[in-house]
Amino acid sequence: MSTANDMAEMPVQLPQNPANSAEARGRYFNSGNAFNIKLPPVPGKIFTEEPARALKMEKTGFIECDLSAEMQCGFPATTPLMLARYVVVKAGETLDVTLKNTASIWYMISGKAALVVGEERASLGKADVFLMPGGVPATITAADDALFWAVGNDPQLRFDTSAPVTGSDAAVDFVHYPAGEIVHQLDVVYASNANASTSGHALIFSAEKTEASRNITPTMTLSLNTLKPKSFQPPHKHNSAAITLVVAGEPAYSMVGEEQCNWSPWATLVTPPAAKHSHHNDGDTRAEFLIVQDGGLYYHARTMGFEFY
């Protein structure tokens, strides 16, 4: 009768007789205990308190949509690889927005401001979108009280202790998408009919460096999705996580699994990876919602897994 232990119950094995420090750092698992790690799932959630705080415009700074405690993550994160923030800049004040990520995607909810990114400058207004490279010195100076929503891949870099690459080898450049141009481009989309293989009328943002992949950064995608009055986007799933900003729509809601998440102004919705979800517009006006996904990673790995139910 065998008295051998079950492999799955074995602890990590240390080197038996290491000859030096390099050998001593080795650790050994087996096919029974190496693949049974149980991580907390990404929770589906709609953030409403954070935008409510941001809309009060009480002080300049960042308000993070942080689910790190629920995911047992050692650094701020909204999903394992992305972090969403509301950013307040009071009139006449300047905020340092130099971030440690590959890139961040920004939407201006209200106000007027001047943005400096390295040697480049831009005047920002309501409903502008901009893409900002990480690690590049950047500031926002508000003419009026200014409110932004931003999503970056900060957790991805924290996870593997990477640093942003800057200069000509950077993954992204600064890109400004003015509100007027966005309206025009969305009108172009609406001039064509959607078919059964599409997810409705949506504007997908890309950039010169990432045009070939049709993404806005190597790892993240950005789309301005819309729903016509009294319509819905059918249930579907994808392996990427999604972070959604409610831009317009009342009454409207999303179904994440079996939970109904009612929209409210500027709320942030988290859709977990591979979760069944759908979006619904019960109102008489067009609904609009901005969606950031870590889809670039899954496109590159050929594992996006998009599927309608």
CA dihedral 120, 126, 128, 131 (to 10 degrees): 60
Q: Is the pLDDT of residue 199 over 70?
A: no
Q: Is the pLDDT of residue 4 over 90?
A: no
- pLDDT band at residue 195, thresholds of 50, 70 and 90? confident
Over residues 1-11, mean pLDDT: 78
Highest mean pLDDT among 31-35, 129-133, 199-203: 129-133
The correct CATH number of 45-160+172-308 out of 2.60.120.10, 2.60.40.1220, 3.40.640.10, 2.60.450.10 is 2.60.120.10
Q: Is the pLDDT of residue 210 over 80?
A: yes
Distances (CA, A) of 28 to 15, 33, 34, 118: 8, 10, 9, 46
Provide the CA 47 distance to its chain's centre, in angstroms: 14
Residue 36 pLDDT: 82
Residue 197 pLDDT: 65
CA dihedral 212, 294, 65, 134 (to 10 degrees): -50
Report domain extents, the chain: 45-160+172-308
Distance CA 180, CA 128 (A): 8
246 φ, ψ (degrees, to nearest 5): -75, 115
Q: Is the pLDDT of residue 194 over 80?
A: no
Q: Is the pLDDT of residue 1 over 60?
A: no
Tens of pLDDT, residue by residue over 52-83, are: 999 999 999 999 999 999 999 999 999 999 99
